Amino acid sequence: MLDTVTLDQLRVFIAAADEGNFSAAARKLRRVQSAVSQAIGNLEAQLGVALWDRSTKIPTLTAEGRSMLIAARRVVGEADALRKLAAGMVTGLEASVSLCVDALFPVCALVDLCRGLAEAFPSVDLRVDTQPTALVAARVLSGAATLGVVGAMGIPPGLERHVLSPIRMIPVVSVAHPLARHEGRIPAARFGEHVQVVLSAPEEGDPSVLSPRTFCVADLATKLAFVRAGLGWAVLPEHVVQADLRAKRLARIRPEPWGENDHVLSLSAIYRPDVHCGPVHRWVLAELQKLCPRDAGLPHRPPEAKKRRSNHRSK
């Protein structure tokens, strides 16, 4: 009997439930009320279940009808998604995009990217995964992600690369931390006295790790929370700590072993050469190239400021 149930019957049933009565559903669907009543009656007969209690002046959903309504919405929703997917395939749209981004990628840019894709391509399934630098390229190479965003040090041979934006990494501590009271450059030996908060287990000889004592955490939010609490010092993206630096909750420190630009990373979009970059993937790449510099790029000196400096030097 279920084979004879139609999507039209389910849509009429949903409309009647949403509108509260058959006549309102008929107006919404632009049909006569008798057609709505007949469609629902046929649906009840085919299901073998009374969906509406007609013993009252205005029919109401039965308990079975309320349960069937949930299932009907699910079936109609899946059918609509199937139709949109097929329509997208006809026009050349990809069915899905899987994006794996480095934990350093700015969250605001990721949110805007996901929102924009949902609006521009509602039929495309977007899957998002945030991973430490070392794991992003591995997921792209394995096919678990069709696109990745990662720092230059995390790109193995064999992947296509589109440079997005530089990110400056800044060593910071809580203003209450002992290292915050040190003026000028801090000798490397001083860092051995304090915990360094890191994102992944440090490898031997890693120049970014100055302390033998580390707290290894899984994400930037935890790393920032530890530093704010004075539990250690850490290197964090400038876009993550800007507000805390302005509010004087955190202080920037200057390790003696590092130069000013030693910790400028370049984020890049990566994908396998054999991945078909259709219109949706091309849209995502274009949005990444726009949003990443907006939220993570290094601040640029205004041209007039540069000019003033050069004029000053020439005098």
Average pLDDT over residues 273-297: 86
Count of helices and strands (H, E) across the chain = 11, 13
pLDDT tens sequence across 137-190: 899 998 899 999 988 776 888 888 888 988 888 999 999 999 998 888 999 888
The domain spans of the chain are 2-90, 96-163+266-296, 166-264
Q: CB atoms < 10 A from the CB of 105, how many?
A: 29
Give this prediction's pTM: 0.60
Task: Identify which of 236, 238, 245 has the alpha carbon closest to the alpha carbon of residue 217.
Answer: 236
- Does position 282 have pLDDT exceeding 70, yes or no? yes
For the chain, what percent of residues have pLDDT higher than 70?
86
One CATH from 3.90.550.10, 1.10.10.10, 1.10.287.3510, 1.20.1250.20 for 2-90: 1.10.10.10
- Does position 300 have pLDDT exceeding 50, yes or no? no
Pairing status of strand 185-186 against strand 160-174: unpaired
Say whether domain 166-264 belongs to CATH 3.40.50.800. no
Q: What is the CA radius of gyration of the chain?
A: 29
Buried b (16+ CB within 10 A) or exposed e, 180-194: beeeeebeeebbeeb
Average pLDDT over residues 39-62: 85
Where residue 227 falls among pLDDT bands split at 50, 70, 90?
very high
Q: What is the 3-state secondary structure (H, E, C) of 96-115?
A: EEEEEEECCCCHHHHHHHHH
pLDDT tens sequence across 16-46: 888 888 888 888 888 888 888 888 888 888 8
Answer whether 2-90 and 166-264 agree in fold.
no
Q: How far is CA 168 from the centre of its chain?
A: 21
Cα end-to-end distance, the chain, whole Å: 93
Q: Please, where are the H alpha helices in 145-230?
A: 188-191, 220-228
The per-residue pLDDT of the chain, averaged, comes to 83
Say whether domain 96-163+266-296 belongs to CATH 3.30.70.270. no
- Does position 247 have pLDDT exceeding 70, yes or no? yes
